[in-house]
């Protein structure tokens, strides 16, 4: 069989050699260690010997030709045993040829693996903060679902992320009639996530004039802004209002308030009555006690009422959990406790979580009409306006001076239609009008 003879490496650093002269021609017998050609390189000139017995069959590299180390120069027909082993022995320097290709390991299948989704590199954290990127909204392309620097850069290029749905931090809300924002039925994991970083809002190009003052929009303010925009943008708001005659309720409260104060040590306000009316009505209309979740509506089992509590610089929306299990007294105490905690700055995370419906006492500052923004993802928000004495037609063609109050409701039209909302509101109205000076609480 014919064996390939390759250009040997003649010295360190040598990568090629020039055939100076062939000492054997095709047909010539070649003995082991007999020189077959002369090769010159940058470093040495040498005779290249055969490493086995045989007959020269073909010269590949001609005299004067420069050949890379490891390239074929001639073929020798070998004889008898050892031919095969000689084949590999020939020009062992051929091993300096580039290292054999090592097939790279197959890429590990990481599809569906999200183990690194929340492992953020320093670069990712820095970029997300500098550009207001909400990392929870990004899909990671790295190993284990890790969000890579490139993922963030891509998000920045595409204009940033949308604000997150809801968070559980103490989020001050703007004054009514804007709805407070608290986590409603957000899953627990979301609920403990730190507040989202809002995307940088677009500037409108307002020109500052003499005397104008600039107030930087802080992170908190930004959050509020963003969430209100989101609620208004995502939830189609429908609005409805009813007039409620609370003359009886007013009389009842007037009768009870001194005694109540003495006995319980707290003021008896209208708020517990409002809440109670809402809670009892929600039981009748569970669709109002629900949240929107994309492709489904979730009816909440618990009735947790978010209430707005004002402080000097902000408004908080703590939650009365299981409000349906509480009496007027129980609700009074719950409202008072949350109000005190809020003003003392001692609200805990649990006080802020889990609201399913929001009650807003806008009447406390004199409003008679408001259009609140829904505390997403809740289904509706209800404002109780100021109680004012008004002449109304009463009974049969009589005028009377009555204590009147408007109640205003914004509802998510994806969840509710006007009929259901109207029925609910009507039941709230009826419950409040049912109170009389002698009602038991």
C-beta separation of 387 from 403 below 8 A:
yes
Q: Is 96 among the residues that bind another protein (CB under 8 A)?
A: yes
Q: Is 6 among the residues that bind another protein (CB under 8 A)?
A: no
Q: How far is the CB of 198 from another protein (least distance, A)?
A: 21
Give 296-314 as a DSSP string: -EEE-SS--EEE-EE-SS-
CA angle 408, 409, 410 (to 5 degrees): 130
Q: Which stretch binds another protein (CB under 8 A): 104-112, 197-205, 217-225, 311-319?
A: 104-112
The single residue among 95, 139, 267, 311 that binds another protein, judged by CB under 8 A, is 95
Give the SS3 label for residue 352: helix
The single residue among 14, 76, 404, 428 that binds another protein, judged by CB under 8 A, is 14
Beta-carbon count within 10 A of 418 CB: 13
- Binding residues among 147-186 for another protein as defined by CB under 8 A: 148-150
Q: Which stretch binds another protein (CB under 8 A): 8-16, 216-224, 252-260, 405-413?
A: 8-16
* Tokens representing residue 354 in the block: 């889990």
β-strands 54-59, 72-78 pairing: antiparallel
Each residue 16-55 as x (binds another protein by CB under 8 A) or -, in order, gives x-------------------------xx------------
Q: How far is the CB of 126 from another protein (least distance, A)?
A: 4
Q: How far is the CB of 218 from another protein (least distance, A)?
A: 24
The single residue among 26, 35, 82, 142 that binds another protein, judged by CB under 8 A, is 142
The single residue among 3, 9, 196, 290 that binds another protein, judged by CB under 8 A, is 9
Please tell me the distance from the alpha carbon of residue 228 to that of residue 380, in angstroms, as a whole number. 14
C-beta separation of 339 from 309 below 8 A:
yes
Please tell me the distance from the alpha carbon of residue 437 to that of residue 250, in angstroms, as a whole number. 8
β-partners of residue 399 are 393
Closest CA to 284 of 271, 303, 270: 303
The single residue among 80, 99, 187, 213 that binds another protein, judged by CB under 8 A, is 99
DSSP symbol at 189? H
C-beta separation of 143 from 149 below 8 A:
no
C-beta separation of 361 from 271 below 8 A:
yes
DSSP symbol at 294? S
The single residue among 18, 40, 66, 121 that binds another protein, judged by CB under 8 A, is 121
Q: How far is the CB of 142 from another protein (least distance, A)?
A: 6
Q: Which is nearer to another protein, 118 or 221 (CB)?
A: 118
Q: Say if residue 194 is exposed, middle or buried (CB neighbours under 10 Å; 0-12, 13-18, 19+).
A: exposed
Q: Is 400 among the residues that bind another protein (CB under 8 A)?
A: no
Could you tell me the CA-to-CA distances from 416 to 224, 242, 330, 373 in Å, in that order?
25, 17, 30, 15
The single residue among 27, 64, 80, 102 that binds another protein, judged by CB under 8 A, is 102
- Binding residues among 280-299 for another protein as defined by CB under 8 A: none
Q: Is 112 among the residues that bind another protein (CB under 8 A)?
A: no
Judged by CB under 8 A, how many residues of this single chain contact another protein? 31
Q: Is 261 among the residues that bind another protein (CB under 8 A)?
A: no
Q: Which is nearer to another protein, 9 or 289 (CB)?
A: 9
Q: List CB contacts of 280: < 8 A, sequence separation 6 or more.
A: 324, 427, 431
Q: Which is nearer to another protein, 122 or 211 (CB)?
A: 122
User: Is 131 marked active-site?
Assistant: no
The single residue among 117, 118, 143, 343 that binds another protein, judged by CB under 8 A, is 143
User: Is 417 marked active-site?
Assistant: yes
β-strands 380-394, 16-22 pairing: unpaired
Q: Which residues are catalytic?
A: 413, 417
Under the rule (CB under 8 A), what is the footprint of another protein?
A: 9, 12-16, 42-43, 93, 95-96, 98-99, 101-102, 104-105, 107, 110, 121-126, 142-143, 146, 148-150
């Amino acid at each position: 069989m014919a064996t390939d003879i390759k250009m040997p490496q003649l010295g360190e650093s040598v990568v090629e050699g020039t055939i100076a002269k062939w000492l054997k021609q095709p047909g010539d017998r070649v003995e082991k260690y007999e020189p077959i050609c002369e090769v010159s390189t940058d470093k040495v000139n040498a005779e290249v010997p055969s490493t086995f017995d045989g007959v020269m069959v073909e010269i590949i590299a001609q005299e004067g030709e420069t050949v890379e180390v490891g390239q074929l120069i001639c073929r020798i027909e070998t004889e008898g045993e050892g031919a095969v082993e000689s084949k590999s022995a020939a020009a062992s320097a051929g091993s300096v040829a580039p290292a054999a290709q090592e097939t790279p390991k197959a890429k590990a299948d990481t599809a569906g693996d999200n183990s690194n989704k929340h492992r953020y590199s320093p670069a990712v954290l820095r970029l997300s903060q500098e550009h207001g990127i909400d990392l929870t909204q990004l899909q990671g392309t790295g190993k284990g679902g890790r969000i890579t620097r490139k993922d963030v850069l891509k998000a920045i290029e595409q204009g940033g992320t949308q604000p997150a749905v809801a968070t559980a931090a103490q989020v001050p809300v703007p004054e009514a009639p804007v709805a407070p924002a608290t986590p409603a039925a957000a899953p627990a994991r979301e609920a403990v996530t730190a507040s989202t970083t809002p995307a940088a809002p677009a500037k409108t190009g307002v020109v500052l004039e003499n005397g104008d003052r600039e107030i930087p929009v802080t992170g908190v303010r930004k959050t509020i802004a963003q969430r209100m925009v989101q609620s208004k943008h995502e939830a189609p708001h429908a609005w409805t209002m009813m007039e409620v005659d609370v003359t009886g309720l007013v009389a009842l409260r007037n009768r009870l308030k001194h005694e109540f104060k003495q006995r319980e040590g707290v003021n008896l306000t209208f708020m517990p009555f409002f809440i109670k009316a809402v809670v009892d009505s929600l039981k009748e209309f569970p669709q109002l006690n629900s949240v929107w979740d994309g492709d489904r509506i979730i009816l909440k089992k618990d009735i947790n009422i978010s209430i707005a509590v004002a402080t000097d610089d902000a408004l908080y929306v703590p939650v009365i959990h299981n409000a349906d299990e509480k009496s007027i007294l129980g609700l009074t105490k719950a409202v008072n406790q949350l109000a005190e905690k809020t003003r003392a700055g001692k609200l805990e995370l649990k006080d802020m979580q889990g609201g399913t419906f929001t009650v807003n006492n806008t009447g406390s500052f004199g409003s008679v009409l408001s259009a609140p923004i829904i505390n997403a993802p809740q289904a509706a928000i209800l404002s109780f306006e100021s109680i004012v004495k008004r002449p109304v037609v009463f009974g049969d063609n009589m005028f009377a001076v009555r204590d009147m109050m408007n109640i205003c409701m914004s509802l998510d039209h994806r969840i509710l239609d006007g009929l259901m909302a109207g029925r609910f509101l009507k039941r709230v109205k009826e419950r409040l009008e049912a109170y009389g000076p002698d009602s038991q609480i």
